[in-house]
Structure 1
Amino acid sequence: MKYSTGLFLLICSVTVGVGSSLQCYKCADYYGGWCENVQDCSYEDSCLSLHEKGGKTIRQCIRYTDCDNSRLSQMFPAVSGFTYRCCTSNLCNSAHSVDIPLLSLLISFIGLCWSCCSV
Structure 2
Amino acid sequence: MKTSVGVCLVFSLALVGLGSAIKCYSCKDYSGTCSKIGNCYYDDACLSVYERGGDIHRQCIKYSECDHSTIAQKFPKIASFTFSCCASDLCNTGTMSLASHSVVGILVSLAFFWCCIL
TM-score interval, normalised by the smaller of the two chains = 0.5 to 0.7
Aligned Cα root-mean-square deviation (Å): 3.3
Change beyond 3 A, Cα 1:90–1:82: same
Q: Which runs of 4+ in 1 moved over 4 A?
A: 13-19, 96-106
Question: 1:70 Cα deviation (Å)?
Answer: 0.7
| Pairs within 5 Å for 1:63-102 | 63-96=62-95, 97=97
Q: Which residue of 2 aligns with 1:50?
A: 49
Q: Which string of whole-angstrom CA distances, capped at 9 and with x for unpartnered residues, describes residues 33-67 of structure 1?
A: 4x211111111111001100011100000011111
TM-score by length of 1: 0.65
The percentage of aligned residue pairs carrying the same residue is 44
Asked if 1:23 corresponds to 2:23, the answer is: yes
**Structure 2 spans left out of the alignment, 5+ residues:** 1-12, 108-118
TM-score (norm 2): 0.66
Pairwise CA distance, 1:68: 0.6
Aligned residues: 115
Structure 1: gaps (5+ residues): 1-12, 107-119
3-state DSSP of counterpart to 2:42: coil
